[in-house]
Amino acid sequence: MTRTLIASLAVLMAGVLAFAGLTRGFTVLTAESARRQAVAAAPIPIPELIGIDQRGTRRRVFESAERRVVIVDFIYTRCTSLCSALGSSYQRLQSAIEAQHLEHAVRLVTVSFDPAHDTQEVIHEYGRSLGAKPNIWTILQPLDPEALRRSLKVFGVVATPAPQGQFAHNAAFHVIDRRGRLARIIDISKPDAALSAARRLYGGS
Amino acid sequence: MNASRDRVVPAAVTLLAAASSLPPLSTLLMRFMLTQMLVQIPLIFLAAASLSVHIRLPTETRWMQWNAQGAPGLLFSAIVLAFWMTPIALDGAAADSLWETGKIASVLAAGSSAGISWRLGSGVAHAFYVGNMVWMTVTAGMLYQESTERLCNAYLWNDQAITGQALVGVSIVLAVTWVLEFAGRNVRQSSRTGGDAQGADSPPA
């Protein structure tokens, strides 16, 4: 009986350790939250992603010469749910950046992960309808699908094709610090937190 | 008749489990949360369990001292299955082949351990194991059903909700089946002992 008790305790301890490892010490239950924690603890360099913005100009997601902090999101323009909410949040963020005179410090970037549909005309129209000001808010059609794929992987964005030209995808505010590293991933329900994080990252480096 | 059925069923389950662990079938099953959780994992588990009930370990008596009533073995099996019910582990298996290999190996071990330990356990050990499994599966199912967010980046929200309902359904079926089987066995046992006491010719009351 003692041996069985020892064996049971050993199994239980191994199980607790396995669960603790899996859930980062019982703090996360999803891959998404695990990722957010990991990024905040150790920012990761992002790969270069070049695209054409709503004015038809070549732009990068992170422009190293500007050294502005960037808040990035990934969308597709046909989206009727998550991306519309993100669009509204970005409008509010743009207003806040103007009101707080943060144009020199924080930039907004929206990247389409459906560049086949989101062509120059579509991106232009999308930017116009949302009132995106190109000096603050860049909307990008990525040029190289392979570079886009690499970026999505690093940013942890999964976009799964769904029926009727839709995608199921996760979304968040990805904040890139002045050294071009993904430093924070913030829930889409908290645009104010994204701006505060961006301000802190600008001030802190 | 029964003897040949005893061999045919485990053989069929084993073949299906082997196929579901290897491409192309594994790729197909891993595309959906429903098929990963309710087809692939159960098949692998059942194959290992049904094969291991036939294994007679030569040193079984010595092993029994470490596994009295099958307690640590059943505990191990329950912990492994609980591990592969969490969204973060399912996402890991869907995204990374190393995780997937680990999943198959651990579920095989959990199934074998359950098959061997079930035989050693009494009704109390069985009730504890089945009760624990049902409670765990219902909890996971409710989590997946109720969540308004996508918990796995690899799977769609619809898939998640349906998987949640199916998990709850399967656990109810599992619980009812076990209770009926347990009750049936007890009735048979008590009528046999009753029959011995009253004589073989006495009609049942």
| SS3 state at A49 | coil
A to B CB pairs, distance under 8 Å: 71
User: Structure tokens of B100?
Assistant: 């997937």
CB A125 within 8 A of CB A116: no
Residue B5 has pLDDT above 80, yes or no: no
B146-157 pLDDT per residue, tens: 998 889 988 888
pLDDT of residue B105: 96
C-alpha B172/C-alpha A205 separation (Å) is 56
Q: What is the pTM of this model?
A: 0.79
Under-50 pLDDT residues of chain A: none
C-alpha A128/C-alpha A54 separation (Å) is 8
User: Which of B67, B91, B152 is facing A7, going by the closest CB pair?
Assistant: B67
| B86 to chain A, closest Cα gap in Å | 7
pLDDT top residue among B205 and B52: B52
B149-189 pLDDT per residue, tens: 889 988 888 899 999 999 999 999 999 999 998 888 888 88
A54-80 pLDDT per residue, tens: 999 999 999 988 889 999 999 999 988
C-alpha B37/C-alpha B94 separation (Å) is 11
- Closest chain A residue by Cα to residue B81: A15
pLDDT of residue A2: 86
Chain B residues with CB under 8 Å of a chain A CB are 65-69, 71-72, 75-76, 79, 83, 86-89, 91-92, 95, 150-154, 156-157
Contact B152 A30 (CB under 8 A): yes
Residue B2 has pLDDT above 70, yes or no: no
Contact A31 B67 (CB under 8 A): no
pLDDT of residue A128: 95
Confidence check on the interface: ipTM exceeds 0.90, yes or no:
no
Contact A170 B150 (CB under 8 A): yes
pLDDT of residue B197: 46
pLDDT of residue A158: 82
Contact B88 A11 (CB under 8 A): no
Contact A30 B88 (CB under 8 A): yes
A17 CB near a chain B CB, below 8 Å? no
pLDDT of residue A205: 54
User: Structure tokens of B81?
Assistant: 């299955």
The number of C-alpha atoms within 13 Å of B147 and in the hemisphere containing its C-beta is 22
Which residues, listed in sequence order, are joined to residue A58 by a DSSP beta bridge? A52
User: Which of B83, B88, B157 is facing A34, going by the closest CB pair?
Assistant: B88
| A88 to chain B, closest Cα gap in Å | 20
Mean pLDDT of B37-56: 89
HEC letters along A55-82? CCCEEECCCCCCCCEEEEEEECCCCCCH
Task: Provide the chain A residues 93-112 that lie in CB contact (below 8 A) with chain B.
Answer: none
pLDDT top residue among B58 and A120: A120
Residue B130 has pLDDT above 50, yes or no: yes
B91-115 pLDDT per residue, tens: 999 988 999 999 999 999 999 999 9
According to DSSP, residue A101 is labeled: T
Q: What is the DSSP string of chain B?
A: -HHHHHHHHHHHHHHHHHHHHSTTHHHHHHTSHHHIIIIIHHHHHHHHHHHHTT---TTHHHHHHHSGGGHHHHHHHHHHHHHTTSHHHHHHHHH-HHHHHHHHHHHHHHHHHHHHHHHH--HHHHHHHHHHHHHHHHHHHHHHHH-SS---TTS-HHHHHHHHHHHHHHHHHHHHHHHHHHHHHHHHHHHHHHHHHH-TTSPP-
pLDDT top residue among B55 and A87: A87
A7 CB near a chain B CB, below 8 Å? yes
φ, ψ of residue A70 to 5 degrees: the values are -120, 135
HEC letters along B113-127? HHHHHHHHCCHHHHH
Residue B205 has pLDDT above 60, yes or no: no
